[in-house]
Structure 1
Amino acid sequence: MNDIYIYGASGHGKVVLDIALNLNLAIAGFVDRNPLLSKFEGYEVIKSVPSKANYIIAIGDNSIRQKIAQTSSGDLLPALIHKHAIIGGNVLLGQGTMVAAGAIINPSVIVKSNCIINTAAVIEHDCVIEDFVHISPNVTLCGSVIVGKGTHVGAGAVIIPGVKIGDWCTIGAGTVVIKDIPNGATVVGNPGRIIKSI
C-alpha cells in the first residue's frame, strides 16, 4: 500500500492517525480545506486528495463524510482497524470504515462503507450498520440491530435486540432505544422518545 492521506485535520483526524500509526502505515499527510492550516500533528496539510492516492475520511459528521466520498478522486482505504479492537468471525467491514481502540464487533456483523465505530463501542452478533453511520464511544448495539444510512448514535446509547433504526437519525447520548425508529428521527431519553422528525 502507498502512503495514505487522512482527510480531516481535526480531533477525529488525531484518532485515525493513531490507528494508522499503530498499524505501522506510512502517512503522506492530511487533507483539509481550512485555508489557515498548513501543518497538523507534524504532517503537511493539502487541500484535496491527489488522484489515485489512498485516503481515509476522518470527519465525524456523516453528511460531510458522504459528500467527500462522492466527490474525491482518490482511492478509499479498506477498513482501518485499531490493533486493540476485537473483531469476531464472519464480520464484513466496508471500505473507508474505521474501528477505534477497545471496540468489540462480534460474529456475523456487517458494517458498510465509511462508518465510524468509535472507542469502546460494542456491536453484538448479527447487526447491520449501513453506509456513513457514526457509532460513538461506549455505545452498545445488542444482537440483530439494524442502523440505517447516515445515522449518528450518541455516546453511551444502548439499542436493545432486534430494533431497526431508520436512515439519517440522531440517537442522543445515553439514550435507550427499545422500539423501531423511523427515518429522520431524533431520539433522546430512557426509554428513547422521538423529539423531532425530518
Structure 2
Amino acid sequence: MYLYGASGHGKVVAEIAEENGYHINAYIDGDVLKKKMLGYPVLHKPPQENIDIVISIGNNRIRKNIVDENTLFNYVTLLHPNSSLSKRIRVEEGTVVMSGVSINAAVTVGKHCIINTNSSIDHDCVLEDFVHISPNAALAGSVYVGEGTHVGIGANIIQGIKIGKWCTIGAGTVIISDVPDGSTVVGNPGRIVKITEL
C-alpha cells in the first residue's frame, strides 16, 4: 500500500493502516525535500502501475483532484479498530475513519471522506464524497452533508439539517438551519459569512 501525502495527516493514516495489518511501501508526495516519514520512504511521483493507495491529505479539493487525475489506483478504505461502527452503515472506497469515531445505524459515507478523531455521526446521515468531519464534531440524526464540505473541529449540527456542497463549517459552529452550496458558516447559532459560487 502507498499513502499519497507525507504530512501530519499522513502520520495518522499510516498508523491506522498499520493497525489494520497493511504493509506500507512508501509515501507519495510532490515535495522533493521530503525523503522519509515514520521510517517509510517518500517517492515524488506514483509508481507506473495499478497500486493500492489511500490519499492521506486533509484538503478536500486536493483529494478530489488526485482522484480525478489517477483513475487506475485501487483506493483502500481504512477503519480504525478503536472506532465504534454500526454493522448497518455503508462506507465507500478511499474513506478513512479515525480513532474514537462513533457512527450509528443506516449512515452512508461517500468516497474519500475523512471522519476524524472522536467525531460522532448519528443514525440516517448521508455524507457525499470528499467530506471532512473534523475531530469532536457531532452530527445528529438524518443530517445530509454535500460533496467536499468541511465540518470544523467541535462543530454541532442538529437533526434533519441539509448542508450543501463545498461548504466550510467553522470550528465550534452550531448549525440549526440548512446551509446552501458554497457557504462559509461560523458562530452559535451559525451564520453565513461568505458564499462562494461553485
Which TM bucket (shorter chain)?
over 0.9
Residue in structure 1 matching 2:52, options 41, 51, 54: 54
Q: Are 1:94 and 2:65 counterparts?
A: no
Corresponding residue for 1:41? 38
Structure 2: give runs of 5+ residues left out of the alignment: none
Q: Are 1:13 and 2:6 counterparts?
A: no
In 1: Cα distance, 2:105 partner to 2:5 partner: 31
Aligned-pair identity (%) = 51
Q: Deviations over 1:42-91 (max 9, x none)?
A: 111112232201000010000000001111242111x2000000110210
Q: Deviations over 1:14-69 (max 9, x none)?
A: 01011011111111110000011121111111122322010000100000000011
In 2: Cα distance, 1:30 partner to 1:129 partner: 27
In 1: Cα distance, 2:110 partner to 2:63 partner: 14
Corresponding residue for 1:164? 162
Structure 1: give runs of 5+ residues left out of the alignment: none
1:20 partner amino acid: A
In 2: Cα distance, 1:153 partner to 1:128 partner: 14
Alignment RMSD (CA, Å)? 0.7
| Pairs within 5 Å for 1:173-184 | 173-184=171-182
Q: Is the 8 A contact 1:30 1:44 kept in 2?
A: yes
Corresponding residue for 1:23? 20
Moved over 3 A (4+): none
In 1: Cα distance, 2:54 partner to 2:87 partner: 24
2:41 partner amino acid: E
SS at the partner of 1:180?
Answer: coil
| Pairs within 5 Å for 1:112-191 | 112-191=110-189
SS at the partner of 1:27?
Answer: coil
1:19 partner amino acid: I
SS at the partner of 1:182?
Answer: coil
Corresponding residue for 2:62? 64
TM-score (structure 2 length as normaliser): 0.96
Q: Deviations over 1:115-151 (max 9, x none)?
A: 0000000000000000000000000000000000000
TM-score (structure 1 length as normaliser): 0.96
SS at the partner of 2:25?
Answer: strand
In 1: Cα distance, 2:154 partner to 2:166 partner: 19
